[in-house]
Structure 1
């Protein structure tokens, strides 16, 4: 059985894609919600689990899933492969290899594309792991995404992801500031976004402003803006020794201060 743990904005549509393309996929979420193929019952999820996609929020929930509260490493006897899809600190991800038994293949596979990309199955995956393991994984990942970037050995995918998200956070901060300033200047923001799309300011958030689910949100601990703040923290945790982190910290503070755009 293929399992998806963490069936929220990203995990639920990923599970739908897997169920459409495989014979048996099931979701697990500690919050009681959703259809019958998403369970809160660990006894219904763990025994037949062979491949796990972990899409939980953070390192604490990953620890709970694998080692502590749910403890799938101990209670899923058939588990042979784990994809770490959450955006986490690369330093933390590196520690997982020593904590997960050697007979379990471990691939870091964070993804980009937001909820819209998960729903239309066009995600980009940043992958870390042995070449043979990545080759074996691509057919399954192809059910959920279109772009697959093998960045190197285990851990490389997560390092690439936090750098990508650091850039995405800067785009989010500046695009929202630009739109606020445009409002103050009396500009039509739809026209401005069309201009940006064909000009040097083009970026992912501006290009998808009407489809990215969090584009107009303010910061909250449990929404995607809050997750973006967490992702910048993951990038900062993996910053090179002696790096100047003033700009990333400013970006993080700016994103944390966002209020909903009306």
Structure 2
């Protein structure tokens, strides 16, 4: 049994923390939502009233937060993780944030004898609930080996991809691919329907050929049906595309298609679709084409 402080019990963090409880670990969780803390307690975990309480005495601290300012506040701020964790604690940040923030957190933590991994995930709410997440991990190899049994509780594809910040770079690459594929699937639907072709039948054929991909497998039916219940919101994908573009600038590379995808996602947000699933990029293409959603 490992003593875990889990900070961030939202749409992803809540099921992840519950899986760790089910695996026999002692999980003490904190979230700004009292309801989320109560859910963890109801599933067999322990609730905390503040970050310091969740961190105190923990062998491992896991953070799952929306963006880099939240990570900076929770980890580096007064009353935060570094101020309350014991030397030797392993901090695993599973948020999707800027690589430079992950590096800064690791450097600050090292001064206090705290080990750090950046371990963003892919798979959305469904992957969190099914414990089938893909986890891309940056940091020291030895720390990755120590954390692997915990990763295996919540994920299926787990890889150490490099030093501190590398996990975030791989996640940025994941998000630019996901956004691009959603955009193209949306365009394929618009093209087929505007040409009098049944889009469901067309996508079924495409899913069996070279165009096959995970998004077609999981989302083609809900996209054709215009069901956009969020598993991962356009608002969050907008944030992630900003991370991808910033990473490209830092690496001094040109990613022209990524720039186009980022603008498509930004358009979706500007059109009022930010709270919808990122598959709602279909609606953006429809609106640009003058074809309102059926």
Question: Is 1:11 aligned to residue 13 of structure 2?
Answer: yes
Q: 1:140 to 1:224 in 2, by over 3 A?
A: same
Instruction: Indicate the residue corresponding to 1:88 in structure 2.
Output: 97
Say if 2:35 is the partner of 1:33. yes
Query: 1:78 and 1:97, CA in 2 relative to 1: closer, same or farther beyond 3 A?
Result: closer
Give the structure-2-normalised TM-score: 0.79
User: Matched residues in 2 for 1:60 and 1:33: separation?
Assistant: 23
1:142 to 1:253, Cα distance in 2 relative to 1, 3 A: same
Contact 2:131–2:156 at 8 Å: present in 1 too? Answer: yes
Change (3 A) 1:194 1:62: same
Q: Which residue of 2 aligns with 1:231?
A: 240
**Cα deviation digits, residues 30-52 of structure 1 (max 9, x gap):** 12223134746115423233311
CA shift for structure 1 position 69? 6.0
In structure 2, how many angstroms separate the alpha carbons of the residues matched to 1:198 and 1:250? 27
**Partner of residue 165, structure 1:** 175
TM-score under structure 1 length normalisation: 0.87
Q: Which has the higher contact order (CA 8 A, sep 6+)?
A: 1
1:137 and 1:242 map into 2 onto residues whose CA distance is 32
Task: Please tell me whether the aligned partners of residues 88 and 158 of structure 1 are also in contact (alpha carbons under 8 angstroms).
Answer: yes
**Which position in structure 2 is the counterpart of 1:60?**
69
CA shift in 2, pair 1:193/1:56, >3 Å: same
Mapped partners of 1:107, 1:241: distance in 2 = 21
Q: Which runs of 5+ in 2 are unaligned?
A: 274-279, 284-292
1:209, CA displacement in angstroms? Answer: 0.3
C-alpha deviation, 1:88, in angstroms: 1.1
Q: How many residues align?
A: 259
Higher helix share: 2
Larger mean Cα displacement after TM superposition, 235-244 or 246-255 = 235-244
**1:131 aligns to what?**
141
CA contact (8 A) 2:133 2:157 kept: yes
Match of residue 48, structure 1, among 50, 53, 57: 57
Instruction: Let me know the Cα RMSD of the aligned residues.
Output: 2.7
Larger gyration radius, structure 1 or structure 2: 2
Does the aligned pair in 1 maintain the 2:238–2:262 contact within 8 Å? yes
Residue number in structure 1 paired with 2:4:
2
Gaps of 5+ in 1: none
Aligned residue among 101, 120, 126 for 1:116: 126
C-alpha contact 1:205 1:212 (8 A) present in aligned 2: no
Give the Cα separation in 1 of the matches to 2:67 and 2:215.
Answer: 23
